[in-house]
Amino acid sequence: MSESGEKTATVVGAGMVGICCALYLQNEGYQVTVIDRNAPGEATSSGNLGGFGIASCPPAAMPGIIRKVPGMLFKETAPLKLRWGHAVTALPWFIRFIAQSRRSNVEANARARQSLLDKVHEAIDPLIDEAGAQALMKSAGLMFTFENEAAFQKAAYAFELRKRNGVDLDLLDGNEARQVEPNLSENIIRAYRVANFSNTADPLRLVQALAQLFLARGGIYHRAEVRGFKVGSKGVSDILTDTSEIPVEVLVLAAGVWSRPLAKQLGSSIPLEAERGYHTNFVGSEVAMTGAIMSVERHVAVTPMREGIRVGGMAEFAAPDAPADMRYAKIVRAHAQALFPGLLSHQKFSEWMGPRPSHPDAKPVIGRSPLHRNVYFAFGHDHLGLTFGGITGKLISELVTNNMPSVDLAPFRPDRF
């Protein structure tokens, strides 16, 4: 406790997950400090495609993925890229990833992901309401699109998995899909629609609004880079930053992909890789969109945003801070133009890259450190940091206060690897 007798907690990471952890700890009466080298939401959260992915229970490692990976790596327009200088570092991750593609693992991972997805809105909506950020939210549905029958058949297991985990899906033909999205390409022959899907028109502004709520409640924001820790008899006693030492009572590590080296300093070696995604914003586009689109064959998502239309995709495995290769943003942009022919080549656009923190089993780490009783891990949310932020924050607050977790946390324990 602080000198005034207040319970205190420190969260490392100011993305969606970290800010939600801070807010939920405030709900439990903690005086909370958040530390990040960036301003709130300005790292990976800012480039999110904006969807609250309630239909995202299938993990990335699906049956048959081992046959697909070589083609994905070597085809120029394929969605999977590997910096060859990073290959040795990433090899153990890929070995674990392929092992997770066994059907029994896929089924278990999907159930675990769905257990979090079922709680998404009950956890995040109260925070959005209190932050006065409802205007940033839109509920207009999501369509998974197909351009050929073979791709539709190959995806059958993934969509059956969604249905068995409670996702409501409507099957549409191409004409019905274009009734929902009139500007969609004539090449779309089928689509699955999730009607109750929500997205935000501006992920960065949403995180900033939640951060403002955190500050308005009396939270402290410390902009610094965390370099290490001091450990005492009761666990971590201080955080060492590039500017100062900060005393710690409760520590939550929620720094996305940058959590891996920090967790390692705390004795936990966790297989977390930077699955770097690229997006393009078509700024001020006049192409109207109703809701979000996910192209199953092209592995890209397209979302209407406040500043235009955002399309994102690719999974580049490289060091988190390695320079971006904007050739991949160009590939993503070409996919969007194929899906929406009205997105012209001369359209004004901006480009972005961010490292998504991914574990081989596509599940986050949510739990107490195996070695330090006052340290909690909340990272590795794959493509779903925005989606899982609220429920992760709630679960961390329940762990810190020794309350029964809202979700069975066994599948997310830090020592499962």
185 shares a domain with 280: yes
Strands 7-12, 308-317: pairing kind: unpaired
Are 314 and 376 in a shared domain? no
One domain for residues 265 and 377: yes
- In this structure, the answer to whether residues 175 and 282 fall within a common structural domain is yes
| Whether residue 230 sits in one domain with residue 179 | no
Q: What is the pLDDT of residue 61?
A: 95
- Pairing relation of β-strands 235-241 and 226-232? antiparallel
Under a CB-based contact definition with an 8 Å cutoff, are residues 250 and 8 in contact?
yes
In angstroms, the first-to-last Cα distance of the chain is: 33
Q: Are 50 and 57 in contact (CB under 8 A)?
A: no
Side by side, the strands of the sheet bearing 235-241 are 226-232, 235-241, 245-247
CATH number where 293 lies: 3.30.9.10
Q: Are 292 and 396 within one domain?
A: no
CATH of the domain at 374: 3.50.50.60
Residue 127 lies in a domain: no
Per the domain annotation, does 246 fall within a domain? yes
Q: How far is CA 303 from CA 55, 200, 234, 272, 352, in A?
A: 15, 9, 47, 27, 15
pLDDT value for 69 = 74
Q: Let me know whether 344 and 389 are in one domain.
A: no
| The pLDDT value given to residue 75 | 73
158 within domain boundaries: yes
Q: With 0-12 CB in 10 A as exposed, 13-18 as middle and 19+ as buried, what is 402?
A: exposed
Residue 347's pLDDT is 76
Is 124 within a domain? no
235 lies in the same domain as 289: no
User: Does one domain contain both 39 and 57?
Assistant: no
pLDDT in tens for each of the 417 residues of the chain?
A: 555 678 999 999 999 999 999 999 999 999 999 999 999 999 999 999 999 999 999 999 999 988 877 766 667 777 888 888 998 999 999 999 999 999 999 999 999 999 999 999 999 999 999 999 999 999 999 999 999 999 999 999 999 999 999 999 999 999 999 999 999 999 999 999 999 999 999 999 999 999 999 999 999 999 999 999 999 888 999 999 999 999 999 999 999 999 999 999 999 999 999 999 999 999 988 899 999 999 999 999 999 999 899 999 999 999 999 999 999 999 999 999 999 999 976 778 999 999 999 999 999 999 999 999 999 999 999 999 999 999 999 999 999 999 999 999 999 999 999
Residues 368 and 350 in one domain: no
pLDDT for res 72: 66
Q: What is the pLDDT of residue 4?
A: 62
Query: What is the pLDDT, as a whole number, of residue 1?
Result: 59
pLDDT of residue 3: 59
Among 319, 336, 358, the domain-final residue is 358
Task: Give the per-residue pLDDT at 73.
Answer: 67
pTM: 0.96
Whether residues 237 and 169 share a domain: the answer is: no
Q: How far apart are CA 109 and CA 234, in angstroms?
A: 34
Of 358, 374, 397, the domain-final residue: 358
Phi, psi of 100 (to 5 degrees): -75, -10
Any bridge partners for residue 368, and if so which?
376
The residues near 299 (Cβ < 8 Å, ≥ 6 apart) are 79, 313, 314
Q: What is the 3-state secondary structure (H, E, C) of the chain?
A: CCCCCCEEEEEECCCHHHHHHHHHHHHCCEEEEEEECCCCCCCHHHHCCCEECCCCCCCCCCCCHHHHHHHHHHCCCCCEEECHHHHHHHHHHHHHHHHCCCHHHHHHHHHHHHHHHCCHHHHHHHHHHHCCCHHHEEECCEEEEECCHHHHHHCHHHHHHHHHCCCCCEEEEHHHHHHHCCCCCCCCCEEEEECCCEEECCHHHHHHHHHHHHHHCCCEEEECCEEEEEEECCEEEEEEECCCEEECCCEEECCHHHHHHHHHHCCCCCCCEEEEEEEEEEECCCCCCCCEEEECCCCEEEEEECCEEEEEEEEEECCCCCCCCCHHHHHHHHHHHHHCCCCCCCCCEEEEEEEEEECCCCCCEEEECCCCCCEEEEECCCCCHHHHHHHHHHHHHHHHCCCCCCCCCHHHCCCCC
Look at residue 126 and tell me if it is in a domain: no
Nearest to 44 by CA among 259, 214, 264, 251: 259
Q: Is residue 353 within 8 Å of residue 318, measured between CB atoms? A: no
Question: Are 379 and 13 within 8 A, CB to CB?
Answer: yes
Structural domains of the chain, count: 2
The residue segments making up the domain with residue 73 are 53-107+137-198+272-358
Whether residues 378 and 336 share a domain: the answer is no
CB of 67 closer than 8 Å to CB of 154? no
